[in-house]
Structure 1
Amino acid sequence: MARLAGTGDEFRSAAVLFADFNREYDDPVPDVDVMTGHLARLVDGGDTSVLLAGDPAVALAIVRFRTATWADETEAYVAELYVAPDSRNQGLGRRFLTDVLDHCRTRGATYVDLNTSEDDEAARHLYESFGFDCHEGRGEGPLAIYYEKQL
């Protein structure tokens, strides 16, 4: 179901979905043309995968890969995961996340992290149903808190 974006049209579809995602959550909306080129450059750099689902695309995942700090292993960070509102509540998110995690394993990842807002209960429910936990130590420690700062 999920496919890797690799053409200009696919990166443009991803950029449109990314803009829709930001618009839905009242975040700054990137210029679609700029984002199209940016996504292509990220993928060309080798540490990012952009996945789409649907024809036309109605789901987007942007996954960044990095070498772990404590071990010679690959970690994956699901930077963005979005399903268009009209395609929700049909099982697409569950199938898409399954494919995204399979892709992470294919790329050699042994660990995946992501974040979402506290009020996005649907996303939290989906992630928790897959075994994601919001506690340090892979489920055994205190509540993990995500911080961010513009530099």
Structure 2
Amino acid sequence: MSGAPDLAVRRADVADAETIGRLLHDFNSEFEEPTPGPRALAKRVRELLASGETAVLLGGAGPDGVAVLRFRPAIW
């Protein structure tokens, strides 16, 4: 190994929607799960990020990883 892997994680914004759509599509495809396609996923990601109730984290230089966080009000 030539060095430590890039483990940087950052919060995505609306400009990252196409990348996020591709990563989510690739993930579903890898596990032979249905996917509406990268463009449809990117459109939905834009809507969710704009609402402020969702955050997406991107990891690695590619980026190579994605985590989608949904925020919902609690009962208490």
Give the TM-score normalised by the residue count of structure 2: 0.81
- Residues 1:36 and 2:58 are matched in the alignment: no
Change (3 A) 1:7 1:68: closer
The size of the alignment, in residue pairs, is 69
Q: Which runs of 5+ in 2 are unaligned?
A: 1-7
Counterpart Cα distance in 2 of 1:12 and 1:52: 12
3-state secondary structure, aligned to 2:62: coil
Q: What is the CA-CA distance between 1:7 and the residue it aligns to?
A: 3.9
3-state secondary structure, aligned to 2:47: helix
Partner of 1:12: 18
Q: Which runs of 5+ in 1 are unaligned?
A: 72-151
Runs of 4+ displaced beyond 6 Å: none
Q: What is the CA-CA distance between 1:50 and the residue it aligns to?
A: 1.0
Q: What is the CA-CA distance between 1:30 and the residue it aligns to?
A: 2.2
Partner of 1:54: 60
Q: What is the CA-CA distance between 1:18 and the residue it aligns to?
A: 0.3
Counterpart Cα distance in 1 of 2:14 and 2:55: 13
- Residues 1:66 and 2:68 are matched in the alignment: no
Residue identity over aligned pairs, in percent, reads 30
Partner of 1:148: none
CA RMSD of aligned residues (A): 1.2
**How does 1:95-110 map onto structure 2 within 5 Å?**
none
Deviations 1:46-95, CA, capped at 9 Å, x for gaps = 100011011211000010001112x1xxxxxxxxxxxxxxxxxxxxxxxx
Counterpart Cα distance in 2 of 1:51 and 1:11: 11
Counterpart Cα distance in 1 of 2:32 and 2:19: 20
Larger radius of gyration: 1
Counterpart Cα distance in 2 of 1:55 and 1:15: 17
